[in-house]
């Protein structure tokens, strides 16, 4: 029989998690899925939660990128901060 955390009951809301917390849970879910440690229903719920965790982590990374500034220098050699620009 699956435990509460394997079935999705009693889990912490994803939106309250930090990037590190969400990533740690995602890694744990992937390991359980890869090892076949869950029954079919628990595997489906784990996959769904894993997808939500991955989206949450991606959103947290985007937020961090928007807050990052880089140090550069103007023509006179004076330091200045510039917003992060994603190069893609």
CA-angle at 15, arms to 35 and 44, nearest 5°: 30
Residue 48 lies in a domain: yes
Residue 20 lies in a domain: yes
Q: What is the CATH number of the domain that holds 78?
A: 1.10.287
Residue 12 lies in a domain: yes
Quote the number of domains for the chain: 1
User: Who wins on pLDDT, 81 or 37?
Assistant: 37
* pTM across the whole model: 0.69
Mean of per-residue pLDDT scores for the chain: 85
pLDDT tens string 48-59: 999 999 999 999
pLDDT tens string 14-35: 999 999 999 999 999 999 999 9
Cα separations (Å) of 62 from 19, 26, 66, 82, 84?
Answer: 11, 18, 6, 17, 11
Q: Is the pLDDT of residue 38 over 60?
A: yes
Backbone angles phi, psi at 39, to 5 degrees: -75, 175
Residue 88 lies in a domain: no
Identify the domain containing residue 54 by its residue range: 4-83
């Amino acid at each position: 029989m699956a435990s509460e955390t394997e079935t999705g009951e009693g889990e912490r809301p994803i939106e309250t998690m930090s990037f590190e917390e969400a990533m740690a849970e995602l890694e744990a879910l992937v390991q359980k899925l890869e090892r076949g440690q869950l029954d079919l229903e628990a595997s489906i719920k784990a996959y769904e939660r894993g997808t939500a965790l991955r989206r949450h982590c991606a959103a947290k990374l985007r937020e961090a990128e928007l807050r990052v500034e880089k140090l550069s220098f103007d023509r006179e050699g004076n330091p200045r901060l510039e917003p992060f620009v994603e190069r893609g």
